[in-house]
Copies of this chain bind each other. A is one copy, B any other.
Amino acid sequence: MSADAVAYARENSARFLEELKDLLRIPSVSTLPEHKRDVEAAAQWVADELRRIGMKHVEVIHGDGHPLVYADWLHAEGKPTVLCYAHYDVQPPDPLDEWVSPPFEPTERNGNLYARGAVDDKGQLYIEVKALESLLKSHGGKLPLNVRVLFEGEEEVGGEQIAKFVREHPERLEADFALVCDTELFAPELPTLCVGLRGMIYTELEVRGAKSDLHSGVYGGAAPNPFVALAQIIAGLKDRDGKILIPGFYDDVQVPSADELKAWRSLPFDEEEYRKSEMGAPELVGEKDYSVLERTWARPTLDVHGIAGGFTGAGAKTVIPAKATAKISMRLVPHMTPETAFRQYREYVEKIRPAGVTVGVRLIHSGEPIVVGTDNPYIGAATRALKTVWGKDTVFIRSGGSIPIVGDFEKHLKIPSVMMGFGLPDDGLHAPNEKFHIANFHRGIESVIRFFEEAGSQ
Contact = CB atoms under 8 A, between A and B. Distances in A.
Interface of A: 30-33, 91-92, 94-95, 98, 156-158, 198, 200, 202, 209-225, 227-228, 230-236, 238, 240, 242, 274, 279-287, 292, 295-296, 299, 301-321, 324-327, 329, 331, 354-358, 364-365, 399-402, 425, 428-433
A436 B108 CA distance: 60
A223 B310 contact: no
A326 B312 CA distance: 8
Given A213-B430, A227-B234, A282-B224, A319 B307 contact: no
Contacts of A230: 231
A290 to B, nearest CB: 8
A305 B281 contact: no
Given A220-B301, A222-B296, A282-B358, A202 B92 contact: no
Given A285-B356, A305-B311, A316 B202 contact: yes
B364 A209 contact: no
Given A227-B306, A282-B224, A327 B321 contact: no
Contacts of A222: 274, 279, 284-286, 292, 295-296
A286 B209 CA distance: 13
Nearest to A309: B306
Contacts of A329: 216, 316, 318
A441 B115 CA distance: 59
Contacts of A432: 212-213
Contacts of A317: 31, 91-92, 156, 305-306, 327, 430
A201 to B, nearest CB: 10
A262 B347 CA distance: 44
Given A212-B428, A217-B200, A281-B210, A157 B331 contact: no
A221 B32 contact: no
Contacts of A326: 227
Q: Which of A286, A317, A329 has the most CB of B within 10 A?
A: A317
